[in-house]
Amino acid sequence: MHQQAGINLRLTREALGLSLRDVELASIKIAARHHNDEFALNLSRISEIETKGILPNIFKLYTLSIIFRMDVREITSWYGVDMMESASDLRLVEPQLTHLATQIKGVQEIRIPVRLDPSFDLRKTSNIGRMVEKWGTVPMAFLSQFADRNYSYGYIGSEDFTMYPLLMPGSFIQVDESRDKVVEGAWRSEFERPIFFVETREGYTCCWCSVRGDKITLQSHPLSPVGTRILNLNTEADVLGQVVGVAMQLTTNGNGQRAQKPRRELA
């Protein structure tokens, strides 16, 4: 990888019409301005970086980015350090104390969906991964989590009140696909009981689940107007994973309008 990064740097230098000597002289000026010789590169060091895969230190990476008129993050990505992944990596470390997250301020562009399936209906619960037709690069942080292979993402339709009021219509959910087995337990509250993202013949739904033999019970929230359903597991209903994250508006639905209280249907 370092060898290819060196080749990329050489090609960039040559595309700018710069010689090794030009880079050396420019680096000396940068070092002098910052009163730090670490910023300087001599001819032999530049050659080793380009041809032998030598890894430049942080000072010399900065110097090269200035001389080559490049964002230093692009150069670090050549060496296997992709700064655009930093927002996704933040969740791997969970400090115990509440804090201000300043790290993502440097993330300028990430990949998010820029074109959706035209049949996407805001009223229906959907699997976001299946409705994305094209990904693009835009200046928004944190949404890079959507590219994580271990998770899929869903949208709860504006007319889906299955888990109301625990999960409001118009919410976005994060689904851990590795947790696709329904577990039983004595839950101390409704917040502890796992919610699953399920695909049925009629579409998608979020609900509590229980399994008995080859039957799965899709249980809605007690305050929901949606009734409980019992389906055949794997033929009529597939558990895609457990809901582990949610982003929702508490006062409006997915259309930006104030959510209306659902009417309970009489059996």
- Residue 115: inside a domain, yes or no? no
Lowest mean pLDDT, pick from 74-83, 121-130, 148-157:
121-130
- Residue 216: inside a domain, yes or no? yes
- Residue 203: inside a domain, yes or no? yes
- Residue 111: inside a domain, yes or no? no
105, amino acid identity: K
Considering the domain architecture, whether residues 152 and 243 belong to the same structural domain is answered as yes
- Residue 181: inside a domain, yes or no? yes
Looking at the 3D structure of the chain, how many domains does it have?
A: 2
Place of tokens 């590219």: 147
Instruction: Round to whole Å and give the CA distance between 149 and 155.
Output: 18
Instruction: Round to whole Å and give the CA distance between 65 and 198.
Output: 48
Place of tokens 């200046």: 139
- Residue 236: inside a domain, yes or no? yes
Average pLDDT, stretch 107-126?
62
Is the preceding peptide bond at 165 cis, omega within 30 degrees of 0? yes
pLDDT tens digit string along 203-240?
A: 899 999 999 999 999 999 999 999 999 999 999 999 99
pLDDT value at residue 142? 47
- Residue 143: inside a domain, yes or no? no
Which residue range(s) make up the domain with 17? 2-81
Six-digit token string for 146: 């959507």
Residue (of 39, 38, 56) closest to 47 by Cα position: 56
Q: Residue 183 pLDDT more than 60?
A: yes
- Residue 86: inside a domain, yes or no? no
170 close to 260: Cβ distance less than 8 angstroms: no
pLDDT band at 187 (very low <50, low <70, confident <90, very high): confident
Query: Average per-residue pLDDT in the chain?
Result: 81
% residues pLDDT > 70 (the chain): 72
CATH code at 202? 2.10.109.10
Q: Is 110 or 155 the better-scoring residue by pLDDT? A: 155
Q: Residue 155 pLDDT more than 80?
A: yes
